[in-house]
Chains A and B, each alone.
Chain A
């Protein structure tokens, strides 16, 4: 949801982190948010929910990063979290083939539920353990391409590739938001923003034509 500010645009994006337990989702996002803003920025609570403010080509971007529980038994709770998100980061462990399989399942589910509006990033984490790699680079990259996602390699331990991942994701989400705005047109967005207060949608209006049958009955 791109919210228009008074001066330049401010975008607010919701990004959801998905992936099996123990693939390093939490350390990935923690590394990202910790690195630049020190302790000052870390919110009152912990690493499950983090925010980050960015400035990309003069436009302000607020990122809200939602971590999810990756254990299999919590799989069904996914839709509660990823509903309405602009981007998803699907993390797998390069030394664990099962976790890559999980990513594939998530991609299928996300595309089914949210369509193409969501920007997907497939992330192979723990590349510092490259010698134990069980998921081949070619396989992962060709899969990502086939589902319209971008593929990244990161290491939360060595702090590699994380900055690029988020920056790239932000840019893609901005593009999506801008394309959406253009599609909507200026007039429509103005009227939408000027409309305030309660908005009533007539869902039942359609029923009236059916009443015509009474005269024939």
Chain B
């Protein structure tokens, strides 16, 4: 699968693999037709037994580049299945089965979905999608605001590339880069940041540090 270049060819190979798994399943059972109840565990087992190191990369590659119309079809289904299987393996905890997808996985799925459906005229989703985007905008806006404000003091100092952000919980300015996640110290909440920051600006003495 890794050898193939086009995402389409990769999916064709994936389908062949799934077919041969089905084939060996029915060769060892009385039934000949299987649903996802049986297939997913088998696929997971096969993945665990095989040593395909590039699979995660290839799966991501296909998910990003496959034609959106194909994502609705059989190729899309088995791609989803392999994604699910990989997720199951990577998040496996022996004793307690996770009830929900992790927040990161949900986030990345949402982002992926947004990326891939941009061109698709999907009337029924568009309203929903727009609200998500607006929220994300506001959030980024707020955090950018903090950065820009923090940037103001930088007139007094020489650093240009380095940005500061204000962390509410530990009440300190911190150095940071423009990555979205690193704007707040660990799990500190961004609530009320601007307000506190404004107060902070008035205290010139504290700025001496910067």
Contacts and interface: CB of A to CB of B under 8 A. Distances in A.
A146 B138 CA distance: 35
A6 interface: no
B77 A49 contact: yes
Contacts of B118: 199, 201
Interface string A175-209: 01100110110000100110111010101101100
A115 interface: yes
Contact of A84 (B18, B125, B136, B149): B125
Given A80-B83, A201-B133, A204-B140, A26 B15 contact: no
Contact of B128 (A48, A66, A117, A192): A117
Contacts of B124: 1-2, 86, 117, 176-177, 180
A42 B33 CA distance: 11
A183 B76 CA distance: 29
Contacts, number: 173
B202 to A, nearest CB: 11
A1 B40 contact: no
Contacts of B80: 66, 80-81
B181 interface: no
B64 to A, nearest CB: 15
B137 A206 contact: yes
Interface stretch (A52-60, A71-79, A96-104, A147-155): A71-79
A84 B113 CA distance: 9
A47 B36 CA distance: 8
B101 A214 contact: no
Interface in B132-148: 133, 136-138, 140-141, 144-145, 148
A129 interface: no
The 8 closest A-B pairs by CB, nearest first: A26-B35, A217-B152, A49-B77, A69-B40, A67-B36, A210-B145, A77-B84, A1-B122
9 contacts: A1-B123, A3-B121, A44-B74, A66-B36, A66-B77, A66-B80, A77-B40, A77-B88, A199-B119
Interface of A: 1-4, 12, 14, 21-22, 25-26, 29-30, 43-49, 51, 64, 66-81, 83-84, 86, 115, 117, 176-177, 180-181, 183-184, 189, 192-193, 195-197, 199, 201, 203-204, 206-207, 210-211, 213-214, 216-217
Interface of B: 15, 18-19, 22, 33-37, 39-41, 72-74, 77-78, 80-81, 83-84, 87-88, 91, 97-101, 106, 109, 113, 117-128, 133, 136-138, 140-141, 144-145, 148-149, 151-153, 155, 201
